[in-house]
Amino acid sequence: MAACPKIVVVFDFDKTIIDCDSDNWVVDELGATDLFNSLLPIMPWNALMDRMMSELHAQGKTVEDVRKALTSVPIHPRVVPAIKTAHALGCDLKVVSDANLFFIETVMEHLGIRECFSEIYTNPGFVDRQGCLRIQPFNSSPHACANPCPPNMCKGGVTEKLLSTLPEKMFIYLGDGVGDYCPSLKLREEDHVLPRKDFPVWDLICKAPTLVKAKIHAWIDGQELEQTLLQTISEICASFPDDQDISSSQMMSADWKLPSVSTSAAHEPLRRTALPMHHLT
């Protein structure tokens, strides 16, 4: 029986689940950095990635080469356990990302976490008849959003749709980038936003924190992502009388080191692990 069926956790992908930008990673690994940099000033990012894939295809690089490059993306060692624990606790996990479906699914399958996610909202990515990877915009027509969202995708629009489809759920949103600001503004008072500290979304939130109705919990790296996410899940679960059955064995099975929350201590701050010094400088 799931312990936290009332929670939806929405993850950004680049620099949130993985510790780099997957588009940059593939371009760099396949030796196309100079071409990418020369076209970036004159092309929108999403269209440029489609162009880069056809340039690489013309140079003889295969989809297998792209796939191989993606299997070496850096990821903090605590992120996969955090995702598996949230899934095991019954949370509904989704991804909203401006990368593309091919990159995201390739990385997730490599990490063994694809089945943890119920939905992936991102730019379509598919292999055409010539064996070339094609990347298309998520929003086929321009969105009218006034927030700093890229022209091909407004993540706030996706978040609004999720909130209206699943109004009884509590939302947790994790992200780092400019595109994660719009969804942060859409969340309700009862929701939680987990911005990556000192990254663009954090800077935007800090400029006018009262614009964000959701509770804000920052994290710096994968270790803090795990602690902050699981603590937030634990606190939400403890606030529902029927769902206080997260057993310590469930937490321990996924190697979660924080103490589980008792009913009486549900709203007390949990003990936090001291940060290594380099995170404070």
* CB-nearer residue toward Zn ion: 70 or 154: 154
Nearest residue (CB) to Zn ion, 154 versus 236:
154
CB of 21 to Mg ion, least distance (A): 7
State the minimum distance, in angstroms, from the CB of residue 203 to Mg ion. Answer: 14
- Binding track, positions 204-243, relative to Zn ion; x by CB under 5 A: ----------------------------------------
Query: Closest separation between CB of residue 179 and Zn ion, Å?
Result: 8
Q: Provide DSSP, 60-128.
A: T--HHHHHHHHTT----TTHHHHHHHHHHTT-EEEEEEEEEHHHHHHHHHHHT-GGGEEEEEEE-EEE-
CB of 77 to Mg ion, least distance (A): 19
Residues designated catalytic: 12, 14
Q: How would you label 2-37 residue by residue, b for 16+ Cβ within 10 Å and e otherwise?
A: ebbebbbbbbbbbbbbbeebbbebbbebbebeebbe
List the structure tokens of 183.
């969804």
Angle of the 222-238 helix axis to the 79-88 helix axis, nearest 10? 20
- Identify residues 92-151 at the interface with Zn ion (CB under 5 A): 145, 147, 149
15 binds, among Zn ion, Mg ion, none (CB under 5 to 8 A by kind): Mg ion
Q: Is 176 part of any known ligand binding site?
A: yes
Q: Which residue, 12 or 243, is less far from Mg ion as judged by CB?
A: 12
Helix 45-58 vs helix 22-29: crossing angle, to nearest 10 = 20
- Of 75 and 178, CB closest to Zn ion: 178
CA 96, CA 117: separation in Å to the nearest integer? Answer: 11
Q: Binding to Zn ion by residue 3, rule CB under 5 A?
A: no
- CA 175/CA 1 separation, integer angstroms: 29
How many CB atoms are located within 10 Å of the residue 258 CB?
15
Residues interacting with Mg ion, by CB under 5 A?
Answer: 12, 14-15, 176-177
Residues comprising the binding site for substrate? Answer: 23, 98
Q: What is the binding site for Zn ion (CB under 5 A)?
A: 145, 147, 149, 154, 156, 182
Annotated binding-site residues read 12, 14, 23, 98, 176
